[in-house]
Amino acid sequence: MAAVLLAGCSEQETAVKEPSAPPAYPMYDTANIHNEKNWNISNVHDPSILKDGDTYYIYSTDVKVGGSSTPGIMVRKSKDLISWDWVGYAFDGIPAEAKEWTGATNLWAPEIEKLGDTYYLYYSASTFGSNTSYIGVATSSSPEGPWTDQGEVVKTSGADEPNAIDPNIVTDADGKPWFVFGSFFGGIYVSPLDEKTGKLAESGYGTKIAKRSQAMEQGAVEGPYVVYNPEQKKYYLFVSYDSLSSDYNVRVGRSDSITGPYLDANGRNMLDDKYEAQFEIGNKLIGGYRFSEGEGWMSPGHNSVLQDGNDYYLVHHARPEQDSNWMYLHVRKMLWTQDGWPVVSPERYDGETVQKIPKGSIAGEWEQIVHEKLIDGQVDSEPLTLLKNGKIGSGEEKDYWEFDGDHTITLFWHDADGAVIAKETALLLPAWDWELNKPTLVFTGLNEQGTAVWGKQISRGAKK
């Protein structure tokens, strides 16, 4: 359901469909720490998403705030990507072969894919800081199981090998499946998949497509997820940089080939671990952030991507700043810039749709967030005033904004001499303000450095 509001005194004939209030899931819900059926979006880490018919499924790492987790891969489902219900665990414990190889006490980073009539559920087993790791796969005729373990897909041990965790299945432009995996040690790899078995079609690890210098958080690049966008005719590699508990952030590069090279908006290769400014590589889509009011978020990352018809969504976890022991599911609307890069909404998804925005609804008081690549942790919002006359700020500066008449806004920033020093092009979208609990207008885009630029309208209307 959506509220239909009229926007702008001069454009009241244009209706904007804004989302209605989402379910009020409580934060820090200590009353339900041991009640899995009421976890909803709580205790979600490393989410993998599948749409089956009219139902969405999330499979996620075994975690639990306030106690030991139950091993077995958590499963939740939804009809709208907003309200989530508990299904149960895919497995009764850790498959024997995986446990014997790794000594794991829980399962990590699952991946779900349907190949033909069979559902393939991939799971990771390891221990923290080790690359004695194992990816296995189980099969079922239903996304809710029961699951039959089919054993090893790939396993690793030793400092010179990749790390066999974080699986992802991607179908290429010709309809052939590929297997993407890796984390920290050795980087990210892609290899052909046998769709009859759900296992590797070739021996070895495949082709390396991303890596970071060991000096950067011990080479912290993980959680790979590749999607093919047929409209752009390109493959997009999403990865998470840095520490999952403090400064996780999502980066992306793209390629004409599934095996790379994957380049960012500045032409830097995601595989380049020699470039001295490692933090600059990859378009930064989202990192920790805080608007001026409401809960801030830390360590958003380890995403999957849902392609639902022509709509795309980034699905990831994040930790609230007041107590980062908790972790929650976030689903965000993904849009595409004119030059073919993905960007995501500053607010979690609540049923909003891309639509024409009346110009009269744009002017007002905003907050802006720039996810600077160098920032290690959270970034705070800054106030932004968009005046009705197209000026930015008090109107005395030379900074101004332009609107294309549909849903794209461009902000021009100048130096003291009046020269343009920055240009930010962003896409406007109605959204639910989860911090202030009301409908609002947001924008999302990339600046010329390949860094996410967000805006959220706090109040509508301006003096000039």
> What is the C-alpha separation between 132 and 260, in angstroms, rounded?
27
- Confirm whether 311 is a catalytic residue: no
Question: Rounded to whole angstroms, what are the CA distances from 94 to 73, 141, 142, 164?
Answer: 9, 21, 20, 16
- Distance CA(209)–CA(203), nearest Å, equals 17
How many other C-beta atoms lie within 10 A of the C-beta of residue 92? Answer: 11
Instruction: Say if residues 222 and 184 touch (Cβ distance below 8 Å).
Output: yes
101 membership: H or E segment, kind and range: helix 96-102
Q: What are phi and psi of 37, to 5 degrees?
A: -65, -20
- What does the alpha-carbon distance between residue 434 and residue 350 come to, in Å, rounded to a whole number? 9
> How is residue 239 written in tokens?
């990865």
Among 62, 195, 222, 352, which one carries the catalytic annotation? 222
Token pair 């022509």 in the structure block, residue: 310
* Torsion angle (degrees, nearest 10) of CA 423, 428, 431, 435: 20
**Contact, 407 vs 317, CB < 8 A?**
no
Residue among 46, 195, 424, 435 flagged as catalytic: 46
Catalytic residue list contains 195: no
Phi/psi of residue 200, nearest 5 degrees: -65, 140
- b/e sequence 291-318, b meaning 16+ C-beta within 10 Å: beeeebbbbbbbbbbbeeeeebbbbbbb
Between CA 268 and CA 207 the distance in angstroms is: 18
- CB distance 412 to 397 below 8 Å: no
Residues 408 and 428: their CA atoms lie apart, in Å, by 6
Amino acid residing at 119: Y
Secondary structure element (H or E) that encloses residue 97, with its range: helix 96-102
According to DSSP, residue 376 is labeled -
Q: Which helix (H) or strand (E) holds 320?
A: strand 311-320
> What strands lie across the sheet with 289-290, from one edge to the other?
342-344, 328-336, 311-320, 297-308, 289-290, 379-380
The helix/strand count (H/E) of the chain reads as 1, 32
Query: Both tokens of residue 438?
Result: 């009301």
Catalytic residues: 46, 222
